[in-house]
Chains A and B, each alone.
Chain A
Amino acid sequence: MFEADSLAVIFVSLMGFSLLLYAILDGYDLGVGILLPLKQKDDSDTMIASIGPFWDANETWLVLAIGLLLIAFPAAHSHIFKELYLPTAVLLISLVLRGVAFDFRAKAAFSHKPTWNKVFKVGSLLAAMSQGYMLGMYVMGFEETLAAYTFSLLSAFGVAAAYAYIGACWLIMKTEGALQVQAVNWAKKTGLICFVGVIAVSAVNPLINPDVYAKWFAWPTTLYILPLPVLCFALFVYSQIQLKQLPAMDDKGCWRPFVAAVVIFALCFFGLAFSFFPYIVPGKLTIWESAAAPESLSFILWGAIVVVPVIISYTIFSYRVFWGKVQELRYH
């Protein structure tokens, strides 16, 4: 059996892990959707083919993350999503629309394809923006002030840019030719927006949350945590330098911007997690106050210990199977 206190920490880590994986994985496929050009038909086919085998599984990480919140911290789940009721509805409807558009665009009457492409693009954008808005409201402690709404709206654009950025990096890795050149340009632009967004959130977060300020600027913690923003900054610079050199001969290093983006995502996530831990609802509810019964958490933890490594291994297997460049598409 596990201690109740450590169970709460284990489960919040598991939840954080799924949420981070979700942001990275569905992040790139939502990003590809956001970047989808409506004019160049061939490009849009190739782009969508690059995420085809993965998007279902990517979204399952969201179900796991939200599921873990529901299972392990039920009080926090209902508090957070009651506050975010309407943005959640927008998120869900957008995810439904883009998910079905993915299949309908290829299978419905060919004359409807441009419409479904639009639905896919707009659905992806709205899903990303509603997630950004929800993140903004969360950071602002669900305040109903003009400042909070403004910040959340900016955060909505920030997250959309971040997803477009990782999506562009994914495309650099998975495509070639003119589309790859285009993807490099996308990555440069969205990378810069992303960079500004990260700085803005890092500045606003400690300024409006005294607890967060106290945490980051307490000696000697600042020293330990300093590598995090420094590394993040360095990676943005590294990524821009890499992008200047791409596409290179023999496609050397086409994977570097994507890996850099993944690490940036992880660092930002750890930054946020560090800011709020042990609160699960900022300033209101800690993980220990909202944790479910230890007997239930132990029961599910044993399963998770066995199953999660299996999930990770077949996820890796699936990525190995579809390794390399997307091929040109041909329709029968």
Chain B
Amino acid sequence: MFETLMLSRMQFAANISFHILFPTITIALSWFLFYFKLRFVQTGEPVWMRAYRFWVKIFAITFAIGVVTGITMSFQFGTNWPKFMETVGNIAGPLLGYEVLTAFFLEAGFLGIMLFGMNRVSARVHTLATLIVAIGTTLSAFWILALNSWMQTPQGHEMRDGVAFPVDWLAIIFNPSFPYRLSHMVVASGLTAAFLIAGISAYRLLKGDDKKAPKLTLKIALTVAMVLAPLQIFIGDMHGLNTLEHQPQKIAAMEGVWHTEKGAPLLLFAIPDEQNKTNHFELAIPKMASFILTHDLEGEIKGLNEFEGNHPPVAPLFFAFRIMVGVGMLMLIISWLSRIQLWRNKPLPTWLLKVLVAMSFSGWLATLAGWYVTEIGRQPWLVTGILTVKDAATDIAPGNVALSLSLYLILYVVLMTAYLHTIFTMANRAVEIEEITDDEKVKPVVHSTPIKESNYV
């Protein structure tokens, strides 16, 4: 039983971790695309269409992986976590249902027109399709984060014979942690997409691409990153305060506070020791944790000792949290440094371009680390106070789960290799394309024959 439980957890973690990478890009990339398309419509400058055509290809491939890896999720709940739906299905079901009905269909239905329909519909309808896809991706984040947040901080339901029944849907959707988690995730998506665009544009510049499009997209992406990075730190802080109020054990584990203390130090680094309930090699700023969390240097932080047997494992949370914050700080520094350089009308030095290329997927690292903090931080509960992970598990033979898990892992390695390889192949190919000709400037929409695939190939 335990073996199946552990394997199911690993499989779920693998599936959801791999899946979330792709929506994290597409949620915000769709809005970038809408902006490019809108600017093209307004100005008629071909450079906007160039930017659109290049990034819509990356959007298509990212979106496709997001869709197909997401299908896996709708089967997992029943197969590996049967008690989840049996206990809270009355709440989780409708939230998932609304995600499919209002978001998935909207995205997928208009994606065809967005990708292939540019010459089959009017410019206005095509721009509208791009906008609708963007709204769809954002709506899907809304519903799935409502469910996830409800699992963290449930309310608006009542328990009858061990089964949750809905009482107040507004309270269920707008549960205490939802607004913070939603904005934190949407901004995370913005940063992820911004650094991806900046990184790939920087890559093209490094390869000697002297066209307008990569310079333009680099500038836009850095502007967005420059605004979002500090905003994200602010939202993250608010989210932390909200967690302190509703899930104090999670904060205690994140901060490595073993015993309740006043004026707790902020640990920059340490090695938490679960057995002896202490930290080794602490590097700390005195009283800072109390100050950040309670806005009082002598504020009291509840330690893990108050949640004996009912708190998450400490080390994964402690490290994941520091990785997330570390990447966030790096994003802040690099985006400001680069954007100010561009402001002064100076080209970015090679080393800075290289740093941007290296940070192309830094958003993935921070987002995953952040999700690990919040999801592992909910342990041992699956739904706080209602259902533990252990009780929700299936009774399938462990061999079957081990087999499916191995297949998924192999698949993910192959997909990730192909995905990264393809993105850089596309960037290299874009470097070799000629600069926009005067001919294109006269007629912004080029192809006269109704072609499908070639529109975006």
Contacts and interface: CB of A to CB of B under 8 A. Distances in A.
Nearest to A64: B100
Contacts of B89: 70-71, 74, 292, 296
A80 B108 CA distance: 27
Contacts of B394: 78, 82
Interface residues of A, number: 67
Interface in B78-104: 78-79, 82, 85-86, 89-91, 93-94, 96-98, 100-102, 104
Interface string B52-77: 00000100110111011111101101
B370 to A, nearest CB: 25
Given A72-B93, A96-B72, A322-B112, 10 more contacts: A62-B71, A66-B75, A67-B100, A74-B78, A78-B79, A82-B396, A99-B64, A99-B68, A315-B105, A331-B454
Given A52-B112, A299-B169, A100 B97 contact: no
Interface size classification for chain B: 35 or more
Contacts of A107: 57, 61, 422, 425-426, 457
Contacts of B110: 314, 318
B404 interface: yes
Given A60-B104, A100-B415, A82 B71 contact: no
Given A75-B86, A296-B91, A315 B451 contact: no
A225 interface: no
B272 interface: no
B71 A303 contact: no
A56 B67 contact: yes
A54 B64 CA distance: 12
Interface string B394-424: 1110001001100110010001001101100
A214 interface: no
Contacts of B109: 57, 60, 311, 314-315, 318
A78 B91 contact: no
Nearest to B93: A71
A223 interface: no
B121 interface: yes
A199 interface: no
5 contacts: A102-B64, A107-B57, A303-B102, A321-B120, A322-B116
B173 to A, nearest CB: 11
Interface stretch (A83-91, A146-154, A180-188, A258-266): A83-91
A311 B451 CA distance: 25
A326 interface: yes
A38 interface: no
